[in-house]
Structure 1
């Protein structure tokens, strides 16, 4: 068996996601087919590339050796294809390629960028996985990426990628039906949701792990429901069938409310990632300022989040208190 670029991409995807299942989702493959492909690659190379366990798939020493050579090859191929496509399409002028997690802050961010850089061809790639965005950034498919990281569950940051912290500790709220018994409370305790099903996105980085860790610490074991479609998730919550974690800047869907969790057991760090030299520093500073301004506007306009900031005396967004 001769190794091809697609095989190298598969190996990198498994290493980056820490799971054959997650890598298969990222690559648009079934888990059995990726498992079979991995076994053939390992047979061809004469040794195991990953150890498999309850915590996921981790590279063996041989795996690290192969990955260290595979990543530069993939990066070069990606750059070659991108340059060829630009040349074939006659692409010219200024270009800005942005990646982002799903966030309401993105709309205001893009609006500010378009106002400041009207002659720049700006594209946006939204992905639920921050690890995927970082890989796209590392392989020169993005110029900057708005990402999030769960404390204690670090992202797989590729070599050469830097992050500038936007929000050091953003709380995660909970979205529940407006008919839920806890809907009227200013903050909801986890124990009040012990008998509710919790919706999680299986493709989101460490969301399931983070929730299970919080529940275990609280002595709880609620049922988790895997739902990738946002519309279906919103309807399940509105019907009272389940609850789900929510960003504090999220807008509640009809029939739902968003409330803080007592004690803030779930948090995330938000940052803007880039490659050194990919953009001039003044432009990177401006992009960061645009994103921060968009986020502050959302926080100031959201009564629930603003009330949380006031109650906690948080220095997270000191300018919000003046609104």
Structure 2
């Protein structure tokens, strides 16, 4: 009987995840499943209910009228189950000690942040969850599955920030650079124009929230329409160094042999970096203290990155000059 209830709740959770993520592929990643497995599960659910729950298209999945009806009933059940699980987990944590659950999109600042937090909170069980989806991480903070999240928001593609979350803005506009082969003609320049890359093939990760929309916006503004291949940014180094693709990257990205990291002329592509918390959530340390450690870690990475440091020195901001770090 208990197993049957667990199975039904798992099915409801899958339906909610697809609706929230907007596609089966993204939902599968958030649930820790493969896309084929979730697709098979969805078909079983639809067969049991006797109707289609989602319209599937090139832009993703959206609920059918039956899907909306099921979601209205499923969401409260899933929320209550999550609350029960969190309550049980909280009781267990109180018995074992304090914990801090951090979420983050990909950033080199995370390692230094964790190092500082472990110095500040030596008796706290600090864990990290990384995800390419900032929206998924923000949702987890709102639902109490994470205590804090450090995310980026692509300019022109606002995130779906749940109501009630408090934002601590680290940097309003971080420029995104370009990674290309050091044999590329544009790599000889200190700053690369988008027009210099019009004939190149771009590697884009469409699973990163807002990335695809942000790139289309700057390509349109520059009057170019480059060839695009979809892939994972974490595995593109070999293709970049071989001269097969160019790809956007963070200004703190570490250059590799055969690869050059350059700013784009006019900084057309940028992101906003911020930390999100639930104001009413019980944190292992004040949010301002967590944010101070994050800021110190980001400053350390930013000023140690040669290309980004040179860019920063040419600007009147957005970061102050580095100062010796103080112990928490």
TM-score when scaled to structure 1? Answer: 0.86
Whether the 8 Å CA contact 1:74–1:139 is kept in 2: the answer is no
1:20-39 to 2 correspondence within 5 Å?
Answer: 20-29=24-33, 31=35, 34-35=38-39, 37-38=41-42
> Could you tell me which of 130, 137, 140 is aligned with 1:136?
140
Secondary structure of the 2:96 match is coil
| Aligned residue number for residue 228 of structure 2 | 224
Q: How does 1:94-105 map to 2 (within 5 A)?
A: 94-105=98-109
Which residue in 1 is equivalent to 2:156?
Answer: 152
CA shift digits 1:76-95 (9 cap, x unpaired): 32343355467679951111
Q: Residue in 1 aligned with 2:178?
A: 174
Corresponding residue for residue 15 of structure 1: 19
The 5-angstrom pairing of residues 183-194 of structure 1 reads 183-194=187-198
The counterpart of 1:112, out of the listed 101, 106, 116, is 116
Q: Is the 8 A contact 1:306 1:320 kept in 2?
A: no
Q: Which runs of 5+ in 2 are unaligned?
A: none
Distance 1:229 1:303 in 2: 21
Matches within 5 A, 1:233-244: 233-244=236-247
Q: Could you list the per-position Cα deviations for residues 200-240 of structure 1 after superposition, in whole angstroms to 9, with x for gaps in the alignment? A: 2232223223222322332222222222272x311111111
2:78 matched to 1:74?
yes
Aligned pair in 2 of structure 1 residues 282, 119: CA closer, same or farther (>3 Å)? closer
Range with bigger deviation, 118-127 or 42-51: 42-51
Structure 1 residue 275 corresponds to structure 2 residue 278? yes
Instruction: Spell out, residue by residue over 1:93-151, the C-alpha distance to the aligned partner (whole angstroms, 9 max, x if none).
Output: 11111111111101111111111111111111111111221222222221001111112
Report the more deviating stretch, 303-312 or 236-245: 303-312
Deviates more, 1:18-27 or 1:42-51: 42-51
Name the SS of the counterpart of 2:286 in structure 1: helix
Q: Extract unaligned runs of 5+ from structure 1.
A: none
Return the offset for 1:289: 0.8
Q: Which residue of 2 aligns with 1:201?
A: 205
Q: Which deviates more, 128-137 or 208-217?
A: 208-217
Whether the 8 Å contact between 1:25 and 1:203 is mirrored in structure 2 is no
Q: How far did 1:285 drift? A: 0.7
Contact 2:98–2:284 (8 Å) recurs in 1: no
Q: Is the 8 A contact 1:227 1:233 kept in 2?
A: yes
TM-fit CA distance, 1:70: 3.4
Paired residues in the alignment total 320
8 Å CA contact 1:310, 1:321 repeated in 2: no
Local SS of the residue matching 2:272: strand
When the two chains are superposed, the root-mean-square deviation of aligned CA atoms in Å is 3.1
- 8 A contact 1:146–1:271 mirrored in 2: yes
The aligned residue for residue 320 of structure 2 is 318
User: What secondary structure does 1:8 align onto?
Assistant: helix
